[in-house]
Amino acid sequence: MTSQHFEEQSALGEAGDGVSNLPSPFAYLLTIHLKEGRNLVIRDRCGTSDPYVKFKLNGKTLYKSKVIYKNLNPVWDEIVVLPIQSLDQKLRVKVYDRDLTTSDFMGSAFVILSDLELNRTTERILKLEDPNSLEDDMGVIVLNLNLVVKQGDFKRHRWSNRKRLSASKSSLIRHLRLSDSLKKNQLWNGIISITLLEGKNVSGGNMAEMFVQLKLGDQRYKSKTLCKSANPQWREEFDFHYFSDRMGILDIEVWGKDSKKHEERLGTCKVDIAALPLKQANCLELPLDSCLGVLLMLVTLTPCAGVSISDLCVCPLADPSERKQIAQRYGLRNSLRDMKDIGLLQVKVLKAVDLLAADFSGKSDPFCLLELGNDRLQTHTIYKTLNPEWNKVFTFPVKDIHDVLEVTVFDEDGDKPPDFLGKIAIPLLSIRDGQTNCYVLKNKDLEQAFKGLIYLEMDFIYNPVKASIRTFSPREKRFVEDSRKLSKKILSRDVDRVKRITMAIWNTIQFLKSCFQWESTWRSAIAFVVFLVTVWNFELYMIPLALLLLFVYNFIRPVKGKVGGMQDSQESTDLEDEDEEDDKTDLLE
């Protein structure tokens, strides 16, 4: 921690907790924990809604939450940090129902910022209202709000008569403060290991198969699908990240699937993770709601200290004593302790050069996303530059030596999906310790070079015995993504395909009709001869041979086929881009 940070902390301490004692030019950081909605209004014909929330200030949307589908009591559990320039304004909270074309309004509320106390987290239950609606009760939104002084701006104001900060230095302080807030929201401090053992006396109804979905915040897993049984045996293990400052409710759902692959939820249950003791295997028998039966599982909450984000000046492996301690932890003497903790990966994200310009100004607002298995960490955003310097150090606990580190660069676009700027993939076994390497950014498929370079420095410490044993175990399951949403592009593509098929059938019918009506003597005579020859020489083996006519047709018209292939490829690329944007929007949010 630098001396500048200590000075800022002392300046903050002198400020006190009263808002009225602070000069008006100061800026603040407002941390919003969007928890849940209760008894929201119905906006869809099916008797439910697909709600999401927007936070607005001075008419501008500062944040947009994810969409919770078909739920009038949604649980978002999202945390966002918003910079506030003045407390003489209201924070607008608006709820919408997502539809295919437009979003239906579900009510709004507001928060008077001057009523908030500094450095204190308060829960607000906001009643939603709509003057144009006849509904009396539109539900409520539950928030946790915490207002603090934006420390970099506080110091600058206090010492303004001594020294003015330059624009670049002020921007650097802002990025560091936002980086600290982002870091706090990313780092998990525990691992929840869940072993799904079996079900007892589970009523499956008319379903042919059964599976279980587990959800903790944004993390989701899906078990394997078993044939219907009163006592299904899953015997699967899943690992979740645990954040002590968020809602620790594990949602468990048992689903059934009939012979037509139609899915139906059979029963649910919940587990309060925060109430479980640490470092202890808790055997739980959970009765299911809405149906008979119980689920038997083991839940273990283990503290995790292997993940961190820091500056270059406090790099964990740069300290010889700390590096020696980590090396001893993964030494051969500890080969039979904590078999899941194989090693530690440290990644220094230094800078990127000559990135793609994604904004109209010819610049970009790049940030970097690092993924190792199910672990994701993100840098802060450097605004209006094509040559960002992050200078951040990330550490990951390694569970499988055969994992691949993926580093992706994005351009931040406010509440819109981020733009893709490049990606690289680095197998852990190919890492050379302590060397600064320059990597060429590639496209999403990692097949072709993209624009720009990124500089990384990595260190990898692991236990070879644990790594060898882990090689014979199944790979860690990946988180289940959200269900596929109805897409305008997919709908347009399918309508276009149906239109082309319909036109082909119609043209064929018109051709046959013209042959029967002898509109063209030569064409009808040739068709008649072909018909006689076919009927006279017809055999059953000719039916599959007739299918070859489709290949001949595509071979005779290669130009049309090539254009159609390029169009389908472009459509497929667009759909992949859309899916990637949806995933990264959830991540950014």
d(Cα 100, Cα 361) in Å, to the nearest integer? 32
Q: Domain ranges for the chain, please list them.
A: 3-186, 190-303, 308-483, 488-577
Q: What is the pLDDT of residue 248?
A: 77
Beta strands in 153-248 (DSSP E): 190-200, 209-216, 219-222, 226-227, 233-242
Residue 162: pLDDT band with limits 50, 70, 90: very low
Give the range among 21-25, 86-90, 262-266, 520-524 with minimum mean pLDDT: 21-25
Please write the tens of the pLDDT for every residue from 102-161.
788 999 999 988 888 888 888 899 999 988 888 888 999 999 998 888 654 433 444 444
Do the domains 190-303 and 308-483 sit in the same CATH topology, yes or no? Answer: yes
The pair of three-digit structure tokens given for residue 512, joined into one six-digit string: 């046959």
Q: Using one digit for the tens of pLDDT, what is the confidence trace for 333-345?
A: 888 888 888 999 9
Q: What whole-number distance in Å separates Cα of residue 33 and Cα of residue 308?
A: 22
Output the six-digit token pair for 62.
């500062």
In 3D, which of 389, 392, 386, 354 has the Cα closest to residue 370?
392
Q: Which residue has the tokens 């800022």?
A: 8
The confidence score (pLDDT) of residue 214 equals: 92
For residues 259 and 239, the answer to whether their CB atoms sit within 8 Å is no
pLDDT at 481: 61
Q: Does the pLDDT of residue 318 top 90, yes or no?
A: no
List pLDDT tens digits, range 167-183. 444 444 445 555 555 65
Top-tier CATH class for 3-186: mainly beta
- What confidence tens digit (pLDDT) does each residue in 91-103 have? 999 999 888 767 8
Closest CA to 54 of 40, 64, 67: 64
Question: So what's the pLDDT on residue 14?
Answer: 37
Condensed to tens digits (0 to 9), the pLDDT of residues 22-55 reads 333 347 888 899 999 999 998 888 888 889 999 9
State how far the Cα of 241 lies from the Cα of 237, in Å rounded to an integer. Answer: 14
Counting every residue, how long is the chain? 589
d(CA 426, CA 431): 8
pLDDT attached to residue 477:
77
Closest Cα partner for 251 from 230, 275, 227, 267?
267
pLDDT for position 163:
40
Residue 557: the pLDDT is 61
CB 404: neighbour CB atoms within 10 A?
14
Look at residue 366 in the predicted model and tell me its pLDDT: 93
Specify whether the CB–CB gap between 40 and 73 falls below 8 A. yes
Residue at token pair 């290991």: 193
pLDDT tens string 560-584? 444 444 444 444 444 455 554 454 4
pLDDT for the residue 2: 37
Question: What is the per-residue pLDDT for 181?
Answer: 55
Could you read off the pLDDT of 366-415 as tens digits, one per residue? 999 999 988 889 998 898 899 999 999 999 999 899 999 999 999 988 76
**Range with lowest mean pLDDT among 158-162, 264-268, 485-489:** 158-162
Tokens of 191: 């691992």
Q: How confident is the model at residue 86 (pLDDT cuts 50, 70, 90)?
A: confident
The token pair that represents 577 in the structure block: 């881009």
Question: Which of the four CATH numbers 3.30.70.20, 2.60.40.150, 3.30.70.270, 2.40.30.10 does domain 308-483 have?
Answer: 2.60.40.150
Q: Which residues on neighbouring strands pair with residue 125, listed in sequence order?
A: 142
Q: What is the pLDDT of residues 201-222, one digit of tens each?
A: 888 878 889 999 999 887 888 9
Contact 455, 389 (CB under 8 A): no
The SS3 assignment for 423 reads strand
The CATH number of the domain covering residues in 190-303: 2.60.40.150
Look at residue 559 in the predicted model and tell me its pLDDT.
44
Please give the pLDDT value at position 95.
93
Strands 389-398 and 343-353: antiparallel
Most confident residue range from 300-304, 315-319, 398-402, 549-553:
398-402
pLDDT tens digits, one per residue of 429-456: 999 888 899 999 999 889 899 899 999 9
Give the angle 465-467-469 at the CA atoms, nearest 5°. 70
Which pLDDT score is estimated for 20?
36
The pLDDT score that the predictor gives to residue 562 is 41
pLDDT tens-digit readout, 507-547: 989 888 888 888 888 888 888 888 888 888 878 777 777 77
482 pLDDT tier (thresholds 50, 70, 90): low
Neighbouring C-beta atoms of residue 301, cutoff 10 Å: 22
Tell me the pLDDT band of 291, cut-offs 50, 70 and 90: confident
Q: pLDDT digit string (tens) for 408-430?
A: 999 988 767 788 999 999 999 99
